Amino acid sequence: MASGGARVGAGRPRKPLEEKIKDGDIEATGISAEANVLSVEVLEEDMPTVKEYMESQQKDGKPLGADEQLKDIFSWVARMGCKDHVPTMLLEQYAMNRARWIALQNAISEYGYINRKGSSGNVQVSPFVTALIAIEKQMNTTFFMINSIVKDNCAVGYQNYTPQDNMMEQLLKSRGD
């Protein structure tokens, strides 16, 4: 039974890239002195290819909207200077979860938070609420992974802005369709 060795997460925490740059430790960053100032312009060709399933029509005839969520999260990651550090698969997973979360919020608004159970007539929590909780857990987990990569690797000032800051605005926009 091997019980020795380094523990996961043990030791001094890594310095974020922004602190390394401020301290003048350019060699440790792997960034040349000329490339210290990053361009925050997100070019269309930099965007990851949107998969067909992210644009698919839902049963109610509305588009899922994961393609817009992908553009939103990718532009944030690119503005932070980390578009090459965050895997596209992780961004796609977050975008799908976020689009599903919005769709479930709309379903709860339309059908209600509680409903009556089939033959017995007992009151129960809507199945949309249960699905919403599961999707929200996945969405938060994937965003935490993306955020930790960005926090460790961003070369520009890291702000605690998250794409979730404008989630209510998107919910209200989607209800008007």
Q: Report DSSP letters for 69-82, one per residue.
A: HHHHHHHHHHHTT-
Q: Give the tens place of pLDDT for each residue, 18-35.
A: 677 677 765 555 544 444
Q: Give CA separation, 75 vs 1, 42, 165, 174, in Å.
A: 47, 6, 14, 21
**Of the candidates 152, 166, 123, the residue with the CA atom closest to the CA atom of residue 13:** 152
Does pTM surpass 0.85? no
Give the pLDDT band of residue 138 (cuts 50, 70, 90).
Answer: very high
The C-alpha atoms of residue 136 and residue 166 are separated, in whole angstroms, by: 16
Instruction: Give 123's contacts (C-beta < 8 A, 6+ positions apart).
Output: 114, 115, 116, 117
**Of the candidates 4, 1, 6, 33, the residue with the CA atom closest to the CA atom of residue 20:** 33
The C-alpha atoms of residue 152 and residue 168 are separated, in whole angstroms, by: 28
Largest pairwise CA distance in the chain: 71
Give the pLDDT band of residue 164 (cuts 50, 70, 90).
Answer: low
Residue 70 tokens read as: 């992908």
